[in-house]
Amino acid sequence: MSPSYLSNPYAPPSYIGLNNVSPEGWVDIDFTYPYDVVLQANQFLRDQSVSTTNDADFIARAIVIGFATGSFNIRWTDSQSMYLSNGMIASANLLGDASSPYPIFPELIIPAGGRIGIDIQDTSNGTNTIEILWRGVKRFRVGG
């Protein structure tokens, strides 16, 4: 287990006074993938996705609700379409704003060119503009 997980699974190691904990031969660079959607009253969207770029694996470490005009439920999958929760999670339970991100622990590895699958449902009974940020690192191979 990496020492950074004992303090704060979301914070970059340098922020909590630890050395880089990237695996040997790799370097981690902070990165964020956004997911923006506008839902109508009680709309339920299945099989939405955030596609990752082909240049590096993405290691998801936290979710941040960047913006939401109302409540919603969400469920996400890894790149193999395996759900990471038994049911939908209410946005009020995520506590995922910039000051208190919702940690993903253990971290979720999405391979280069992969996707984060999303099912999302409005529960506000009105138009709901939502931005969710998937925070983590891109993991690049270094050296030969």
38, 21 contact by CB (below 8 A): no
Predicted pLDDT at 2: 44
- Note the pLDDT of residue 85: 86
Q: Are 77 and 89 in contact (CB under 8 A)?
A: no
Domains of the chain, residue spans = 29-141
Q: Which CATH number does 29-141 carry?
A: 2.60.120
pLDDT at 142: 86
pLDDT tens-digit map of 27-53: 999 999 999 999 999 999 999 999 999
- Pairing type for strands 57-68 and 44-51 reads unpaired
* Residues 82-130: tens digit of each pLDDT: 888 889 999 988 765 667 788 888 889 999 999 999 999 999 999 999 9
Helix (H) or strand (E) segment spanning residue 88: none
For 16, other C-beta atoms within 10 Å of its C-beta total 13
Q: Rounded to two decimals, what is the model's pTM?
A: 0.80
Q: What is the distance between the alpha carbons of residues 37 and 68, in angstroms, rounded to a whole number?
A: 10
**Residues 6+ away with beta carbon under 8 Å from 1:** none
